Amino acid sequence: MNGTPRTLNRVLVFLFGAAVLAVGAIIVLLATIPAVGAWWHTWAPSAAEAVGVVFEGSRVPGTRVSWLWLMLTVAAVVVVLLMIWWIAQQGKGRRDLVASTGPDGGAGPGGEFLPGEVPGRVSISAAAVEQAMRAALAPRKDVLGSSVAAVDFEGRTALRLRLVARQGADPAALAADAGWLVTRLESVVGISVPVLVHITSGARSRFSRAERVR
């Protein structure tokens, strides 16, 4: 429920993993198989010499700089810019505010401002919602942790509620109680937003203090 490019991330992780695996396999072969090591000692010097000849023959007229180095420099700058763009895309779509509204008028019968009232804006932050949800879930022994994030979903603000359940907890009961808490939250703050409830269990649930969940 955010703008993180998950497909792109998976492709990049696959390519990086494949490259690391290939380099590791080559190193293992060079270290364990004598024939491969002998081939490398024969091939590497000639390959390095051929590359040197190519760079020597591609110098910019009047200089000692090869235009291949210039191309490699430009390529490195492009890669750095792409990496900066990729980093900026991670987690994109999060919002700091769950809701924000402008003044609709005062509390008077005709919407006029009563003495002491001033125009203003009411904003509800995602941190406030998270604190409220954590406080409501704190007494539960089958919930080890929770987090709430406000994200952009189809042009509007949505909430993503993540619960870390203790091993043996009833996910159906957790989901029902989470839905009830969200309904209560909507009635308190006066807004209605889409909510994704994500219940997970991991290492923390396995290594936490053993308690029987009823």
CATH number of the structural domain spanning residue 187: 3.30.300.30
pLDDT tens for the chain, residues 1 to 214: 555 667 888 888 899 999 999 999 999 998 899 898 888 888 888 888 888 888 888 888 877 788 888 899 999 999 999 888 888 777 666 677 776 655 555 555 555 666 666 666 667 777 777 788 778 877 877 788 777 777 777 767 777 888 888 777 778 888 888 888 888 877 777 677 777 888 887 554 444 444 333 3
Quote the pLDDT of residue 3: 59
Quote the pLDDT of residue 76: 94
Tokens 């929770």 locate to 146
* Pair 127, 201 in one domain: yes
Contact yes or no for 99/124 (Cβ under 8 A): yes
Last residue of a domain, one of 35, 67, 89: 89
- Rounded CA separation 90/41 (Å): 43
Q: What angle do CA 157, 158, 162 make, to 5 degrees?
A: 145
* Domain-embedded: residue 61: yes
Give Cα 211 distance to the centre of its chain. Answer: 32
- What's the number of domains the chain is made of? 2
The CA-to-CA distance between both ends of the chain, in Å, stands at 32
Instruction: Report residue 17 as tokens.
Output: 């993993």
* Pair 81, 126 in one domain: no
Quote the pLDDT of residue 178: 81
Contact yes or no for 148/129 (Cβ under 8 A): yes
* Pair 76, 142 in one domain: no
* Pair 201, 127 in one domain: yes
* Pair 77, 130 in one domain: no
Quote the pLDDT of residue 205: 45
- Rounded CA separation 53/68 (Å): 12
Tokens 């269990």 locate to 201
Q: What is the DSSP string of 65-126?
A: -BHHHHHHHHHHHHHHHHHHHHHHHTTTTEESEEEEE-----SSTTSPPPTT-----EEEEH
* Pair 135, 73 in one domain: no
* Domain-embedded: residue 117: no
* Domain-embedded: residue 108: no
Last residue of a domain, one of 43, 65, 89: 89
* Pair 127, 202 in one domain: yes
* Domain-embedded: residue 107: no
* Pair 83, 14 in one domain: yes
Residues spanned by the domain of 26: 6-89
Distances, alpha carbon 209 to alpha carbons 49, 53, 83, 174, 205, in Å: 64, 67, 42, 19, 8
* Domain-embedded: residue 1: no
* Domain-embedded: residue 114: no
Give Cα 149 distance to the centre of its chain. Answer: 12
* Domain-embedded: residue 19: yes
* Pair 136, 184 in one domain: yes
* Domain-embedded: residue 12: yes
What's the predicted TM-score (pTM) here? 0.49
